[in-house]
């Protein structure tokens, strides 16, 4: 334990493992920034029967892994995990703690930071080390319209929750082995103040829009409720999900669940179709993460058309109809 | 003199704007196209006190001051002028006369129903041969020995006509007395002899069901008489003063809506590879619009402030009505011009504002009548 | 329990269409912007109002007094959102405003809110926060306030019931639908996907401005340590702010629908097919292997 390097911790968030590989992405980023601060990449794994994850994190770039494996930790617990993480951090004094910005991470991270009396930057999309050796955390605000670079000059550790999908994970390498340090469950652990009565896995119930690889968004420019319905057929053909703007929701053409916007859902598909949407900021802010945007609007100068990779100046409804027809032809022929 | 809006007025504006954009924004064009009054939206507005803006709390109203009232009408009209019209007519010429001239029994009986929107109000003065000249009114009410009346006549261009549950009927009770010959009656829509004519096919404000109202031997007991017999003219004039504040607010809201649409369009629309807002002519139009709207707003709020401080506000209300309606028409006209061909299309809301604006120069006293009111006051002063 | 104290922390955020930023101090110039009640906070308030109604209906015999206090921290104009909250049905409002509180990050904000709650409602039962404000989008103040108050907490709550000193919750967290129970006092955060807020009644607004119970507290009133200046005490510092929205070099198509769709597939069939996970190539164009 003579290693005096600065520890960079990554919280091992494995609950949604196959959907969400953010822990692996963070291990990769931690490896990338480690040289600049003479850092040692560590993972912290709390839970029960977590050997599989310990092994996986090692193969994905952790140099050292702290593990507390105990039956009492078999379900995720904000209370207990916070207690254990804080206790461990107070003992080991890491320089940096990175936590995936999953729902759990965004509830757990703030509590750890509060108890450690340190700063925390939310939902980061960039992590760099500056000339002073400080972690520069880039965080979005106002629905991605502004990015802020934030540092924590004095307090330690420097903490960030990090948006999934930003960093590329290091390929699995069985030859990489981490030093595994078992931390026994301390005897004085307080009882969990939150009693978990039931927990059901809901694959994608509410997340389908957020996770969809193809999203079809429609606005009032579709013309009418019956025309708007065509978007669902298009979505079916493209394995996509349908989103809607606020005026569409108000007109009752689609359920509130479908709202893509400030008070609704943020989407990040590989392909976004935007039909008849002019692009109020409440909506555009929620689609900035789309990889490729095809917008259709009669008005070539609509904001949405400027954001698009392909801007089609034409009637949204007619293009939708033509697209459906062409897709059916192509799907039949293959 | 403080020209800063107070916090309450700012919050009232945001509140009404949020409501109007949420509930009316997406459907305003459709309502206009289908000439449909949105009863479902009106149903939501009842519990939110839109039908009792200045009615005292004891009757279920919001007890707002006049500037808040003007802001409410302005913000509704910025999105959906036809709904702004329903609200201003209901509040200022439907409910206000009962509040100002009604007996305690009449107030207790009618104001709660009006404040909740259960009954929508209308004021019926205009006839085929009578408008601003109340002397031409032919509808008459004849009293029997017990003091009860029978009303006969036809009223036209009644705003809210198709939806009103309570109509104030201006009728002749003493044909030979030119000054005190008219009276106002409270007539409930379910009374015998009351019927509604066809909805008028108008140029603008199409979502408001403007109609004729027929009264055929409509029997009203004496407790339906508002004020005393012969008070008609007095009530009518006072009511019109109040009504003018509402119509001015409506014109202001239309101008504001058309102005904002113009700003958006001028920044977005490209010609010769630059946004048209960068052309001086268009920029000048926008500057004029902004200036005139600001002036209109100050005139209107001054009239409201005078009214609330209990001072004479008739002249100020006439000025506000004259100017706000002119600014509405001019701004909507320039908004269409800035939009070019698109402005002439129903795709864009400025086309609707253009049609809706005109009537603000006509009803509740035409601009010519406002000038008459104002010039009289001016001339009287200079003796 | 003959009395239940509900607290809602709300925030005034700039209207999303305005981003008044001071590049010198790197803070929001809130005094320049028109503000609105943060959407998630409004949902949190709605949750409190609905819970009160349910409990009042249940406790007809017990006659419980359920009081809702809204608290906000911000410049003086944040009073607007308190008045609005009162108009929606809250009982009283607390405005925390003091130059010393300006520039607080989430850690310091949670300490200030915690100190205020301990001062004005030491016997609180349940605190509601929005799950994340629409301006800074951190979602950190709720959980950190729970730490400051040392109470159990749950974020993203979609349903809740209060019964006999504890609270039962349903929430969706990373695709897990959880049913949880906590003893009171506790804290919950509400996401803007449930408890859709009511419209603000105008009569309520007039009353809230006439006689609404709103009090203003300064740093000294909540016994903040005299050398605490939020901007200095906050561990995080913003060093740079920029706007990522650069206009794209895009491809523009126009013409008849059929033509543009053909063109779209000619250029992007791989991209569209790739995203959809479908082979969209026309088979007769495929080269036989």
Give the DSSP letter string of C181-219: EEESSEEEEE-TTSSPPPPPPHHHHHHHHHH-EEEEE-G
User: Quick check: C205 and B12 CB within 8 A?
Assistant: yes
What is the average pLDDT across C215-231? Answer: 92
| Of residues B114, B109, B117, B125, the one with CA closest to residue B157 | B125
**Is the pLDDT confidence value at C288 over 50?**
no
pLDDT in tens, A129-170: 999 999 999 998 776 667 889 999 999 999 999 988 788 889
How far B59 CA lies from chain C's nearest CA (Å)? 12
Q: If you count residue pairs, one on A and one on C, with CB atoms under 8 Å apart, how many are there?
A: 281
Is B12's Cβ below 8 Å from some Cβ in C? Answer: yes
How far A251 CA lies from chain B's nearest CA (Å)? 6
How far A246 CA lies from chain B's nearest CA (Å)? 9
Q: What is the pLDDT of residue B253?
A: 98
- Pick from C29, C236, C268 the residue to mutate for testing the A interface (most A CBs within 10 Å): C236
Decide the pairing of beta strands B182-188 and B166-172. Answer: antiparallel
The overall average pLDDT reported for chain C is: 88
pLDDT in tens, A169-180: 899 998 998 999
Q: Which chains touch B (3 or more CB pairs under 8 A)?
A: A, C
User: Quick check: B268 and A303 CB within 8 A?
Assistant: yes
The CATH classification of domain A208-333, taken from the options 3.40.50.10860, 3.40.50.1220, 3.20.20.240, 3.40.50.2300: 3.40.50.1220
Cα dist. B209→A24, B106, B204 in Å?
64, 26, 11
Cβ-contact C91, C66 below 8 angstroms: no
Measure the CA–CA gap between B229 and B147, rounded to whole angstroms: 10
User: Quick check: A122 and C139 CB within 8 A?
Assistant: yes
Cβ-contact A112, A86 below 8 angstroms: yes
Q: Which of A73-77, B106-110, B172-176 has the highest mean pLDDT?
A: B106-110
- Pick from C168, C235, C247, C252 the residue to mutate for testing the A interface (most A CBs within 10 Å): C235
Taking contacts as CB-CB distances below 8 angstroms, the residues of chain A near C253 are 310-314
**Is the pLDDT confidence value at A57 over 90?**
yes
Q: What is the CATH number of the domain that holds B73?
A: 1.10.540.10
Measure the CA–CA gap between A306 and B374, rounded to whole angstroms: 51
What is the average pLDDT across C80-103? Answer: 96
Query: pLDDT grade, residue A205 (50/70/90)?
Result: very low
Taking contacts as CB-CB distances below 8 angstroms, the residues of chain C near A155 are 235
Same domain, C204 and C277: no
Please, what sign has the CA dihedral across residues B316, B318, B319, B321?
positive
Cα dist. C180→B291, C55, C145, C188 in Å?
58, 19, 19, 11
Q: At what angle do helices B81-88 and B349-358 cross, to 10 degrees?
A: 30
Q: What is the pLDDT of residue A19?
A: 60
Taking contacts as CB-CB distances below 8 angstroms, the residues of chain A near B270 are 301
Is B44's Cβ below 8 Å from some Cβ in A? Answer: no
Q: Which of B115, B144, B171 delimits the end of a domain?
A: B115
The pTM assigned to this predicted structure is: 0.86
Measure the CA–CA gap between B334 and B356, rounded to whole angstroms: 14
Q: Which fold has domain A6-182?
A: Rossmann fold (3.40.50)
Give the range of the structural domain holding residue B70, as residue numbers without chain letter.
Answer: 7-115
Taking contacts as CB-CB distances below 8 angstroms, the residues of chain B near A245 are none
A267 three-class SS: coil
Chain B residues 345-374 with CB within 8 Å of chain A: 347
Same domain, B298 and B351: yes
Same domain, B318 and B222: no
Q: What is the CATH number of the domain that holds C222?
A: 3.40.50.620
Same domain, B270 and B347: yes
Taking contacts as CB-CB distances below 8 angstroms, the residues of chain A near C172 are 103, 202, 205-206
Give the range of the structural domain holding residue C85, as residue numbers without chain letter.
Answer: 3-233
Q: What is the pLDDT of residue C286?
A: 46
**Is the pLDDT confidence value at A206 over 50?**
no
Same domain, B256 and B220: no
Q: If you count residue pairs, one on B and one on C, with CB atoms under 8 Å apart, how many are there?
A: 63
pLDDT in tens, B295-345: 999 999 999 999 999 999 999 999 999 999 999 999 999 999 999 998 998
The overall average pLDDT reported for chain B is: 94
Same domain, C174 and C273: no
Q: What is the pLDDT of residue C30?
A: 56
Measure the CA–CA gap between A331 and A327, rounded to whole angstroms: 6
Cβ-contact A82, C143 below 8 angstroms: no
Out of B74, B113, B349, B364, which one is annotated catalytic? B364
User: Quick check: B26 and A251 CB within 8 A?
Assistant: yes
What H or E segment, with its residue span, contains residue A99? strand A96-100
Closest A-chain CA to B31? A251
User: Quick check: A247 and B268 CB within 8 A?
Assistant: no
Closest C-chain CA to A301? C252
Same domain, C203 and C267: no
B1 assigned to some structural domain: no
User: Quick check: C202 and B11 CB within 8 A?
Assistant: no
What is the average pLDDT across B130-140? Answer: 84
- Burial class, C44, CB count within 10 angstroms (exposed 0-12 / middle 13-18 / buried 19+): buried
C205 assigned to some structural domain: yes
Taking contacts as CB-CB distances below 8 angstroms, the residues of chain A near C268 are 294, 310
Same domain, B135 and B211: yes
Q: What is the pLDDT of residue C157?
A: 96
Query: pLDDT grade, residue B285 (50/70/90)?
Result: very high
| Of residues A221, A107, A210, the one with CA closest to residue C193 | A210
Measure the CA–CA gap between A224 and A41, rounded to whole angstroms: 55
Measure the CA–CA gap between B330 and C271, rounded to whole angstroms: 50
Task: Render C248-264 in DSSP notation, one character per residue.
Answer: P--EEEES-HHHHHHHH
Q: What is the pLDDT of residue A135?
A: 97
Query: pLDDT grade, residue C20 (50/70/90)?
Result: low
Taking contacts as CB-CB distances below 8 angstroms, the residues of chain C near A103 are 155-156, 172-174
Cβ-contact C190, C129 below 8 angstroms: yes
Q: What is the CATH number of the domain that holds B228?
A: 2.40.110.10
Domain ranges for chain A:
6-182, 208-333
pLDDT in tens, B244-264: 999 999 999 999 999 999 998
Cα dist. C68→B173, C52, C117, C206 in Å?
57, 8, 12, 19
Q: Which of A29-43, A317-331, C48-62 has the highest mean pLDDT?
A: A29-43
- Burial class, A170, CB count within 10 angstroms (exposed 0-12 / middle 13-18 / buried 19+): middle
**Are A6-182 and A208-333 in the same CATH fold?**
yes
Q: How many domains does chain C have?
A: 2
Q: What is the pLDDT of residue C163?
A: 85
Same domain, C42 and C117: yes
**Six-digit token string for C198:** 């009511």
The partner residue sitting opposite A154, judged by closest CB among C107, C235, C251, is: C235
B380 three-class SS: helix
Q: Please report, rounded to a whole number, the percentage of residues in chain A having pLDDT higher than 90.
A: 65
**Is the pLDDT confidence value at B215 over 60?**
yes
**Six-digit token string for B288:** 């004029």
Q: Which of B48, B80, B115 delimits the end of a domain?
A: B115
pLDDT in tens, C245-264: 555 678 888 888 999 999 99
B364 is catalytic: yes
Measure the CA–CA gap between A20 and A207, rounded to whole angstroms: 12
C223 assigned to some structural domain: yes
What is the average pLDDT across C84-109? Answer: 96
Task: Render C17-64 in DSSP notation, one character per residue.
Answer: T---EETTTTEE-GGGS-EEE-HHHHHHHHHHHHHHHHHHHHTTTTT-
Same domain, C163 and C33: yes
Closest A-chain CA to B28? A251
Does A33 or B267 have the greater pLDDT score? Answer: A33
Q: At what angle do helices A316-333 and A230-237 cross, to 10 degrees?
A: 30
Closest A-chain CA to C281? A330
Give the contacts of A175 (CB within 8 A, at least 6 positions apart): none
How far A252 CA lies from chain B's nearest CA (Å)? 10
Cα dist. C182→A197, B353, C50, C163 in Å?
10, 55, 19, 11
Chain B residues 69-108 with CB within 8 Å of chain C: 72
Decide the pairing of beta strands A96-100 and A120-124. Answer: unpaired
How far A63 CA lies from chain C's nearest CA (Å)? 28
The overall average pLDDT reported for chain A is: 90
Please, what sign has the CA dihedral across residues C138, C140, C141, C143?
positive
Is A247's Cβ below 8 Å from some Cβ in B? Answer: yes
């Amino acid at each position: 334990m003579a290693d005096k390097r600065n520890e960079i911790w990554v919280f091992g968030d494995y609950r949604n493992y196959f959907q969400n590989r953010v822990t692996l992405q963070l291990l990769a980023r931690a490896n990338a920034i480690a040289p600049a601060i003479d850092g040692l990449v560590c993972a912290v794994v709390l839970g029960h029967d977590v050997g599989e994850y310990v092994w996986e994190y090692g193969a994905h770039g952790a140099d050292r892994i702290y593990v507390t494996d105990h039956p009492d930790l078999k379900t995720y617990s904000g209370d207990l995990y916070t207690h254990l993480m804080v206790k461990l951090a107070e003992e080991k004094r890491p320089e940096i703690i990175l936590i995936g910005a999953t729902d759990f991470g965004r509830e757990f991270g703030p509590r750890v930071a509060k108890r450690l009396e340190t700063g925390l930057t939310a939902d980061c999309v960039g992590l760099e080390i500056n000339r002073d050796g400080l972690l520069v955390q880039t965080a979005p605000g106002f629905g991605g319209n502004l990015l802020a670079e934030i540092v924590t000059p004095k307090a330690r550790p420097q903490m960030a929750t990090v948006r999934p999908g930003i960093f590329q994970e290091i390929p699995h390498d069985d030859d990489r082995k981490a030093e595994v340090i078992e931390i026994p469950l301390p005897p004085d652990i307080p009882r969990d103040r939150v009693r978990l009565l039931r927990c059901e896995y809901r694959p994608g119930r509410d997340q389908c829009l957020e996770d969809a690889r193809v999203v079809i968004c429609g606005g009032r420019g579709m013309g009418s409720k019956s025309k708007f319905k065509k978007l669902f057929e298009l979505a079916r053909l493209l394995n996509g999900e349908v989103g809607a703007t606020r005026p569409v929701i108000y007109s009752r053409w689609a359920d509130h669940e479908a709202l893509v916007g400030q008070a609704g859902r943020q989407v990040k598909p590989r392909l976004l179709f935007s039909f008849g949407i002019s692009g109020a900021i409440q909506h555009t802010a929620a689609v900035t993460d789309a990889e490729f945007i095809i917008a259709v609007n009669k008005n070539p100068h609509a904001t949405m058309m400027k954001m698009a990779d392909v801007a089609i100046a034409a009637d949204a409804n007619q293009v939708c109809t033509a697209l459906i027809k062409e897709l059916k032809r192509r799907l039949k022929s293959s | 003199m403080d020209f800063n809006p107070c916090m309450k007025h700012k919050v009232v504006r945001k509140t009404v704007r949020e409501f109007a954009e949420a509930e009316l924004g997406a459907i305003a064009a459709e309502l206009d196209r289908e000439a449909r009054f949105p009863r479902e939206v009106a149903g939501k507005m009842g519990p939110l006190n839109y039908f009792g803006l200045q009615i005292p709390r004891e009757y279920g109203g919001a007890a707002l001051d006049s500037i808040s009232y003007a802001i409410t009408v302005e913000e509704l009209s910025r999105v959906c002028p036809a709904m702004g019209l329903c609200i201003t007519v209901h509040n200022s010429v439907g409910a206000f006369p009962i509040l100002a001239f009604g007996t305690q029994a009449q107030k207790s009986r009618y104001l709660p129903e009006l404040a909740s929107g259960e009954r929508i109000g209308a004021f019926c003065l205009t006839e085929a041969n009578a408008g601003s000249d109340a002397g031409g009114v032919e509808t008459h009410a004849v009293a029997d020995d017990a003091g009860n009346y029978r009303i006969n006549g036809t009223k036209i261009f009644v705003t809210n006509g198709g939806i009103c549950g309570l109509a104030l009927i201006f009728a002749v009770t003493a044909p030979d007395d030119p000054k005190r010959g008219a009276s106002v009656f409270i007539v409930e829509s379910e009374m015998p002899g009351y019927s509604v004519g066809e909805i008028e096919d108008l140029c603008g404000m199409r979502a408001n069901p403007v109609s004729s109202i027929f009264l055929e031997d409509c029997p009203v007991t004496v407790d339906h008489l508002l004020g005393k017999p012969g008070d008609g003219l007095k009530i009518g004039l006072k009511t019109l003063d109040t009504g003018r504040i509402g119509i001015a607010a409506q014109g202001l809201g239309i101008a504001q809506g058309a102005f904002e649409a113009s700003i958006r369009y001028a920044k977005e629309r490209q010609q010769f590879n630059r946004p048209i807002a960068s052309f001086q002519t268009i920029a000048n139009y926008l500057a004029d619009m902004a200036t005139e709207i600001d002036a209109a707003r100050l005139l209107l709020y001054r009239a409201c402030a005078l009214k609330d401080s209990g001072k004479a506000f008739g002249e100020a209300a006439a000025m506000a009505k004259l100017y706000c309606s002119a600014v509405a028409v001019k701004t909507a006209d320039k908004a269409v011009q800035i939009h070019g061909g698109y402005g002439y299309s129903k795709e864009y809301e400025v086309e609707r504002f253009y049609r809706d604006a005109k009537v603000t120069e006509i009803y509740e006293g035409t601009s010519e009548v406002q000038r008459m009111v104002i010039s009289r006051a001016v001339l009287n002063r200079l003796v | 329990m003959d009395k239940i104290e509900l607290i809602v922390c709300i925030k005034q955020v700039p209207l999303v269409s305005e981003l008044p930023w001071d590049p010198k101090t790197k803070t929001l110039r809130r005094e320049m912007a028109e503000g609105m009640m943060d959407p998630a906070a409004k949902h949190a308030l709605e949750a409190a109002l609905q819970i009160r109604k349910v409990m009042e209906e249940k406790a007809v015999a017990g006659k419980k007094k359920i009081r809702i206090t809204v608290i906000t921290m911000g410049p003086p104009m944040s009073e607007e959102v308190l008045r609005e909250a009162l108009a929606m049905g809250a009982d009283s409002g607390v405005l925390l405003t003091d130059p010393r509180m300006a520039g607080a990050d989430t850690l310091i904000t949670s300490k200030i809110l915690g100190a205020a709650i301990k001062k004005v409602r030491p016997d609180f039962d349940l605190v509601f926060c929005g799950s994340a404000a629409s301006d800074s989008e951190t979602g950190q103040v709720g959980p950190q306030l729970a730490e400051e108050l040392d109470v159990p907490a749950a974020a993203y709550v979609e349903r809740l019931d209060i019964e006999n000193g504890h609270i039962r919750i349903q929430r969706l967290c990373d695709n897990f639908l959880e049913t949880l129970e906590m003893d009171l006092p506790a804290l919950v955060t509400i996401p803007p996907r449930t408890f859709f807020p009511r419209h603000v009644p105008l009569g309520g607004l007039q009353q809230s401005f006439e006689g609404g119970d709103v009090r203003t507290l300064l740093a000294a009133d909540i016994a903040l340590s005299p050398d605490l200046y939020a901007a200095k005490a906050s561990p995080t510092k913003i060093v740079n702010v920029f706007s990522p929205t650069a206009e794209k070099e895009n491809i523009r198509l126009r013409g008849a629908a059929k033509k543009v769709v053909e063109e779209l597939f000619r250029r992007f069939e791989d991209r569209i097919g790739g995203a959809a996970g479908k082979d969209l190539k026309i088979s007769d164009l495929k080269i036989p292997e």
